[in-house]
Structure 1
Amino acid sequence: MQGVDEPSRAPRLLFSFNSEDDVQQFATGCDADIGGTSTVNLGVEESPERNKSIRKHTTGKFWGEMRLNVKPGMEGKLRGGYAGFRNKAWIVLSHDQLRPTLFGNLTEDVSNHQYLALRLRVAGDPSTHNSYFVNIQTDGPLTTDLWQHRLYFQRSDNTWEDIFVPFGSFVRTNSGELTEDQITMYRERVRSIGISLLGGKSGVVGKYELGIDSISIVNDEDVNKTPSTKPQP
């Protein structure tokens, strides 16, 4: 009898941003949804000059303007300065491919991999470069929990780079605040992954732009640079 196969440690692509259909897997939001004035867009970038180095025709682009002021009548009721995107619910198309569905949530098991790998290109006003975060939501005890890690970019020249974030370095937040009880992330059932720009806490304003090519999961043997493990704010 054939034994049980060992869990695969091979790099695995979770999301690509190389077509309109890919980008449609994601939902966007910003503080303007509840009375702020920031803007948010997520679309495709078909610039041969920008995408040539990674040999892609199309990549994703997340852009807009980060603003801290709010609409009349909302002063003192909310803090502006937020924009982000995350994947919609998942559906299985094959054993190794997931796509969005309106019929309920499926989850992703990332417990056999050590890092979340993101291929990104940071542009826009330099003041916005240090305010990006990657966010993970799981099927843990509190579905309102969000596991968060700041994205630390090594490049500032509008070119692509690979960022590797250890799953063990994410911190648990709730309602935008760090929780006192820092439990282990429930990596066996990940519901959503996304990126946000948080300007409210640090007073960051300006035009922002982030190119996105892919989001994957990898292990030590796949990491070709120092992981992003700087202390969280």
Structure 2
Amino acid sequence: MASPLSLYLNRSAQVLRDGTMRVLLMQGADPPSRAPRTLFTFNSQEDVNQIATGCDADIGGTSTAHFELNTNENVNSSIGRQATGVFWGDMRLGVKAGLEGKLRGGYAGFRNKKRPTLFGELTEDVTNHRHLTLRLRLGGDPSTHNSYFCNIQTDGPISTDLWQHRLYFKRRDGGWEDIYHISKPGPICLFCLQIPFDSFVRTNSGEVSEAQIEMYKERIRTIGISLLGGMSGVGGRYELGIDTIGIANDEDIGNYTRGERLPICVICIHLVDHPVLAVCR
């Protein structure tokens, strides 16, 4: 296992190498790349070690949260992986004795850890991409399936801001599913309200902020997923597999019209207030 110091030095060296290559290749004059890009993978123990977890047990609740490497061939073979990440635990609404009425239980989540370097914190610029892409696998008790949220933290002026969007899933058979948050209406899906990065809701300290400002997409610090059972009053055993988090644009999904046969199953999900487009593989 790599030590925190070695990871820090490796990240710093990578930033230096990338900056040097841009200068040598004179890439500063090139237009920004719109190519799809993977931000985070969850296919090795080193990947898993870069994930932070938390749950209500940290402040007196009784839920549990784990993030581990899953090497089960039956789970991973369909997407050609030897291993993927799995977020699992028990969602419980109760709290420890003496804390009843003082706090609300029922949450668990994970995100990438902060990535400091000699040149400042490593962040992601998503200004030239319209989609946040997540390859996920839904498991656990069915009661937990509709309580997942995607969370984005930026390097904005208010460090406690969290941009949040609910996740909905089509598959209930434990298979992998590609989730896209779409930026604008287009020919790929004629029946759904497509969701841009800009439609993520700004929250602070667990509450929706009255002032909804534009997300600072130039510097994304962390991306994660949370299960908020306390909001919907649901508990039980939860499990969420995750393979990748990435960014893409409309053209990366394809330019399909009504009635045209698709190479993959494109499903418009209309549930509650935020439809999303799910691509099942």
When normalised by structure 1's length, the TM-score is 0.90
Q: Residue 142 of structure 1 aligns to which amino acid in structure 2?
A: I
The CA distance in 2 between the partners of 1:168 and 1:195, in whole Å, is 18
Shift of 1:227: 7.5
Change (3 A) 1:52 1:30: same
Please, which of 29, 32, 37 is the counterpart of residue 7 of structure 1? 32
Structure 2 match to 1:43? 68
Shift of 1:192: 0.7
Aligned residues of 2:170 and 2:269 also touching (Cα < 8 A):
no
Shift of 1:186: 0.4
Structure 2 match to 1:98? none
**Secondary structure of residue in 1 paired with 2:29:** coil
Structure 2 match to 1:190? 220
Q: Mark the structure with the bigger radius of gyration.
A: 2
Change (3 A) 1:3 1:87: closer
Matched, 1:20 2:36: no
Shift of 1:142: 1.0
Q: Residue 115 of structure 1 aligns to which amino acid in structure 2?
A: H
Structure 2 match to 1:30? 55
Aligned residues of 1:164 and 1:223 also touching (Cα < 8 A):
no
The CA distance in 1 between the partners of 2:130 and 2:268, in whole Å, is 11
Q: Which runs of 5+ in 2 are unaligned?
A: 1-25, 182-195, 255-265, 275-281
The CA distance in 1 between the partners of 2:28 and 2:222, in whole Å, is 32
Q: Which runs of 5+ in 1 are unaligned?
A: 92-100
The CA distance in 1 between the partners of 2:50 and 2:27, in whole Å, is 38
The CA distance in 1 between the partners of 2:270 and 2:131, in whole Å, is 11
The CA distance in 2 between the partners of 1:183 and 1:156, in whole Å, is 35
- Which consecutive aligned stretches of 4+ in structure 1 deviate over 2 angstroms post-superposition? 101-106, 223-232
**Secondary structure of residue in 1 paired with 2:169:** coil
The CA distance in 2 between the partners of 1:59 and 1:116, in whole Å, is 19
Higher strand share: 1
**Once the two structures are superposed, what CA deviation does each residue of 1:116-144 show, in whole Å capped at 9, x if it has no partner?**
10000000000100000010001122111
**Secondary structure of residue in 1 paired with 2:146:** helix
**Once the two structures are superposed, what CA deviation does each residue of 1:91-115 show, in whole Å capped at 9, x if it has no partner?**
5xxxxxxxxx699622211111001
Change (3 A) 1:102 1:38: farther
Please show how residues 56-205 of structure 1 align to structure 2 within 5 Å: 56-90=81-115, 105-165=121-181, 166-205=196-235
Shift of 1:221: 1.1
Change (3 A) 1:44 1:103: farther
Shift of 1:164: 0.6
Number of aligned positions between the proteins? 224
The CA distance in 1 between the partners of 2:239 and 2:210, in whole Å, is 33
Higher helix share: 2
The CA distance in 2 between the partners of 1:79 and 1:202, in whole Å, is 12
Aligned residues of 1:169 and 1:229 also touching (Cα < 8 A):
no
Q: Residue 77 of structure 1 aligns to which amino acid in structure 2?
A: K
Q: Residue 77 of structure 2 aligns to which amino acid in structure 1?
A: K
The CA distance in 2 between the partners of 1:2 and 1:51, in whole Å, is 38
Change (3 A) 1:35 1:24: same
Matched, 1:52 2:82: no
Shift of 1:47: 1.0
When normalised by structure 2's length, the TM-score is 0.75
CA RMSD of aligned residues (A): 2.2
User: Which segment drifts farther, 69-78 or 163-172?
Assistant: 163-172
The CA distance in 2 between the partners of 1:111 and 1:229, in whole Å, is 27
**Once the two structures are superposed, what CA deviation does each residue of 1:4-25 show, in whole Å capped at 9, x if it has no partner?**
1010000111000001101111
The CA distance in 2 between the partners of 1:136 and 1:227, in whole Å, is 23
User: Which segment drifts farther, 30-39 or 176-185?
Assistant: 176-185
Aligned residues of 2:151 and 2:226 also touching (Cα < 8 A):
yes
Percent identity between the two aligned chains: 68
The CA distance in 1 between the partners of 2:72 and 2:199, in whole Å, is 34
